[in-house]
Homo-oligomer: A and B are copies of this chain.
Amino acid sequence: MTSPQAREEAVLEAVRKRRERVNEAIPENLPIRRPERLYEASRYLLDAGGKRLRPTVLLTTAEALADVSPLSVDYRSFPTLDDAQPDGTAVGGRDASAQSSAVIDVMNAAVSVEVIQSFTLIHDDIMDDDDLRRGVPAVHREYDLETAILAGDTLYSKAFEIMLETGAKPDRTVEALDVLATTCTKICEGQSLDVSFEKREDVSTEEYLEMVEQKTAVLYAASACLPAVLMGADDETIDALYGYGLDIGRAFQIQDDVLDLTVPSEELGKQRGSDLVENKQTLITVHARDQGVDVENLVDTTDVDAVSEAEIDDAVATLEESGSIGYANEMARDLVEQGKARLEVLPDNDARELLLELADYLIERGY
């Protein structure tokens, strides 16, 4: 039995190593080319950092499915599930009798998902008129509004181009593109709900969870199920992995809302408590309102740049007293446990173990 600290360090190390590979892959899939300013703006946020959690989920799921040791196989020449195993059976395979398929580039799928994430951040920052992201100016601040809209639009189609080039069989590529397209549609729907909630004071827990599922969780779900789609896993495996991603994605967003209140601004890379200032609905505010807290007047300042740390401290204390932060923590924990249980469809191997630990990490992380 390893200690919690040792376990967390092992997860961080696993994330770090995959992040390095993803960081190497991004310029390969998305080189700066003419018109340079457009591509520089498209790469700006991608190059500014990011934990690459979604690509890590995707690459680790691929390893678990292929039943290979973590980091032992080149992600750009990755085995599918089409080859029969030594005992003549296939692991979760759909058509073991079909002829052996060429290897696929599962890194392309990982980069595609991160590129979609980056496109949504660029456009979201315009919509929220946020100044900072990942500790650097938002793209529409570093460049301008036109360039930021276009950079997001360019990343959007590039994500599809990159996903089209994994080398997977055509029917699986079609299915992967369908996952990608419907995921993007749901993200837009979720963002639209999020914007509309800012003007409402009667958002229910159910509505909030629906919004979070669409805005955030579907991209985790896509990340977890795409390797299964591209490698030719059966529908039961694909569905279970989608469910795992949906659960941990919702937990991730709930934890993100908690961290917006509890982590110092320097570590967050943006103003702590900005959600409260911008009147964003979170599970915490929805719960607090149910407890009789006057959520709309928790923070009087309406400008993120003008709010004081003391004002945020007072608001957080109120939300702790009402049990709302604890409620959010508990909900995130339940979702993570639900998601972990779904991984029983995977072979019992080190990569699956890592997916279980990644789920815990999403709600135990400090930022």
Copies of this chain, count:
2
* Cα distance, A34 to B150, chains bound together (Å): 27
A37 adjacent to chain B (CB < 8 Å): yes
Please state if B154 and A127 are interface contacts (CB–CB under 8 Å): no
Q: Which single member of B152, B174, B193 contacts A164 (CB below 8 Å)?
A: B174
A317 adjacent to chain B (CB < 8 Å): no
Q: Which single member of B35, B154, B177 contacts A196 (CB below 8 Å)?
A: B35
Please state if A127 and B150 are interface contacts (CB–CB under 8 Å): yes
A145 adjacent to chain B (CB < 8 Å): yes
Q: Closest residue of chain B to A190, judged by CB?
A: B35
A361 adjacent to chain B (CB < 8 Å): no
Q: Closest residue of chain B to A214, judged by CB?
A: B35
Q: Which single member of B34, B154, B170 contacts A171 (CB below 8 Å)?
A: B170
Which listed segment binds B: A1-9, A11-19, A178-186? A178-186
Please state if B188 and A161 are interface contacts (CB–CB under 8 Å): no
Enumerate chain B residues within 8 angstroms of A149, measured Cβ to Cβ.
123, 126-127, 149
1/0 contact trace for A22-39 toward B, CB 8 Å? 000000000000110110
Q: Which single member of B153, B174, B180, B184 contacts A184 (CB below 8 Å)?
A: B153
Q: Which single member of B146, B147, B154 contacts A185 (CB below 8 Å)?
A: B154
Which of A34, A35, A147 has the most chain B CB within a 10 Å cutoff?
A35
A156 adjacent to chain B (CB < 8 Å): yes
Q: Closest residue of chain B to A42, judged by CB?
A: B188
Please state if B156 and A192 are interface contacts (CB–CB under 8 Å): no
* Cα distance, A180 to B158, chains bound together (Å): 11
Q: Closest residue of chain B to A146, judged by CB?
A: B127
Enumerate chain B residues within 8 angstroms of A150, measured Cβ to Cβ.
123, 127, 188, 191-192, 195
Q: Closest residue of chain B to A120, judged by CB?
A: B153
A160 adjacent to chain B (CB < 8 Å): yes
Distance (whole angstroms) from the CB of A98 to the closest CB of chain B: 14
Enumerate chain B residues within 8 angstroms of A185, measured Cβ to Cβ.
154, 157-158, 161
Please state if B127 and A145 are interface contacts (CB–CB under 8 Å): yes
Please state if A35 and B161 are interface contacts (CB–CB under 8 Å): no
A189 adjacent to chain B (CB < 8 Å): yes
Please state if B127 and A188 are interface contacts (CB–CB under 8 Å): no
A173 adjacent to chain B (CB < 8 Å): yes
- Ranked nearest first, the 3 interchain pairs of A and B with the lowest CB-CB distance are A157-B184, A170-B170, A38-B192
Beyond A150-B195, A157-B182, 8 additional contacts (C-beta under 8 Å) are: A35-B189, A126-B145, A150-B188, A152-B153, A156-B156, A160-B181, A161-B185, A174-B174
